[in-house]
Structure 1
Amino acid sequence: MSSCDRRRFLVGPPALIAAAVLSGCGFTPAYGPSGSAGKLLNAVEVSEPMGRAGYLMTRELEDRLGRAGQPRYALVYAIEVSETPVAISRLNLITRYNMLGKVTYALNDLATDQVLTSGTVDNFTSFAASDTTVATEAARRAAEERIVVILSDQVVARLVAAADSFET
Structure 2
Amino acid sequence: MSVLAALVLLGGCGFTPVYGPQGEALPLRGAVRATAPDTDLAYAFVRQIEDRLGKPAATRFDLDYSIATVEEGLAIDGSNNITRFSIEGVIDWTLAPAGSDAVALRGQETSFVSYSATGSTISTQESERDAQRRLATILADKVVTRLLADAPALTR
What residue number does 2:93 align with? 105
Superimposed CA distance per residue, residues 11-64 of structure 1 (whole angstroms, 9 cap, x where no aligned partner) = xxx544422321222222212112222121011111111211111111111111
Aligned to 2:61: 73
Q: Distance in 2 between matches of 1:37 and 1:60?
A: 17
Q: How far has the Cα of 1:136 moved from its partner?
A: 0.8
The residue correspondences of 1:1-168 to structure 2 (distance < 5 A) are: 9=1, 14-110=2-98, 113-168=101-156
Partner of 1:58, secondary structure, is: helix
Contact 2:18–2:148, Cα closer than 8 Å, also in 1? yes
Shift of 1:113: 4.2
Alpha-carbon contact 2:62-2:99 (below 8 Å) kept: no
**Equivalent residues of 1:53, 1:81 under 8 A apart:** no
Q: Using the alignment, how far apart are the partners of 1:56 and 1:43 within structure 2?
A: 19
For structure 2, which runs of at least 5 residues remain unmatched after alignment?
none
- Work out whether residues 83 and 117 of structure 2, in 8 Å CA contact, stay in contact via their aligned partners in 1: yes
Which has the bigger relative contact order, CA under 8 A and spacing at least 6?
2
**Following TM superposition, by how much is the alpha carbon of 1:132 offset from its aligned partner in structure 2, in angstroms?**
2.0
State the Cα distance separating 1:100 from its structure 2 match.
1.0
Q: Letter of the 1:110 partner, please give it.
A: A
**CA contact 2:17–2:23 (8 Å) conserved in 1:** yes
Structure 1: which 5+ residue stretches go unaligned? 1-8
Q: Which amino acid aligns with 2:43?
A: Y
Measure, in 2, the Cα distance between the counterparts of 1:129 and 1:111. Answer: 44
The Cα RMSD (Å) is: 1.6
Distance in 2 (CA, whole Å) between partners of 1:125 and 1:16 is 38
In percent, how many aligned pairs have the same letter? 37
1:35 alignment partner AA: G
